[in-house]
Amino acid sequence: MIDLHLHTLLSDGVLVPSELVARAKAAGYRAMAITDHVDSSNIEGVLEKTVRFVESIAGGKLTVLPGVELTHIPPKDIDMLTKRARRLGAKIIVCHGETIVEPVAEGTNLRAIEAGVDILAHPGLIGEEETALAKKNSVFLEITTRKGHSLANGHVAAMAKRIGAGLILNTDTHEPSDLATPDYALRVALGAGLTTNDYERMRENAEDLLKKTGL
């Protein structure tokens, strides 16, 4: 399992990074990204701690990447914070998309894609324009196993397949029970109207994103 969207108690997760990694390893994960929620108030502190932690465990069988999830950012600031996150050492940049279960600012999906984030998380009822730009800019749209956010998986999957945009599957883990097995991830994909071939392509997309980071 490759999962590039997970949280620790550095934001709203319940586990310290070391326990999250230990549980992911026990669940059979082979790569993961710690992507705690950040905005302009905490991005430096969170990334400093995450990068330092990841460096301290480097060399293990489980690949762990430092990242962030830009969350409820004013759309006009997304490009600036994306660039700042990369300078601070984020290898994976997720942006909290326009999920239908939270009051995310309109325009967030478009500005995140324009900024070139790696993954647009749970993008809700994303439109054709944004999906086409995601394809052009090689931004992956997320199929999520997270309750609530997953309600729009079917729309995201159908839009991405029709336009040809890339999809990726993540858990958006906040607590131990959120970690997923490959079998469960496949069932979530099938429930969104995707096929087993689509699921394998999402796994390949995750591999490609890992390679893009230099791993």
Q: What is the pLDDT of residues 109-142, one digit of tens each?
A: 999 999 999 999 999 999 999 999 999 999 999 9
Query: In sequence order, which residues have a C-beta less than 8 Å from that of residue 117 and are 6 or more positions away?
Result: 70, 78, 82, 93, 94, 95, 139
Task: Calculate the CA 116 to chain-centre distance.
Answer: 13
Structurally, the chain folds into a number of domains equal to 1
- Label residue 45 exposed, middle or buried (CB < 10 Å: 0-12, 13-18, 19+): exposed
Local structure of residue 101 (DSSP, 8 states): T
Closest CA to 60 of 94, 13, 93, 26: 26
Contact 34, 6 (CB under 8 A): yes
Closest CA to 177 of 35, 1, 15: 15
CA torsion sign for 99, 104, 105, 108 is: negative
Does residue 57 carry a pLDDT above 80?
Answer: yes
pLDDT tens profile 149-204: 999 999 999 999 999 999 999 999 999 999 999 999 999 999 999 999 999 999 99
Local structure of residue 67 (DSSP, 8 states): E
- Quote the CA–CA distance of 180 and 165 in Å, as a whole number: 24
Q: Which domain holds residue 133?
A: 2-212
pLDDT tens profile 90-114: 999 999 999 999 999 999 999 999 9
Closest CA to 96 of 115, 86, 88: 115
* 114: CATH: 3.20.20.140
Q: What is the pLDDT of residue 60?
A: 85
The pair phi, psi for residue 109, each rounded to 5°, is: -55, -50
- Quote the CA–CA distance of 55 and 97 in Å, as a whole number: 29
Confidence band of 59 (pLDDT split at 50, 70, 90): confident
Does residue 215 carry a pLDDT above 80?
Answer: no
pLDDT tens profile 7-53: 999 999 999 999 999 999 999 999 999 999 999 999 999 999 999 99
Question: What is the rounded radius of gyration, in angstroms, for the C-alpha atoms of the chain?
Answer: 16
Structure tokens at 169: 């599957």
Confidence band of 62 (pLDDT split at 50, 70, 90): very high
Which residue type, as a one-letter code, is found at position 202?
A: M
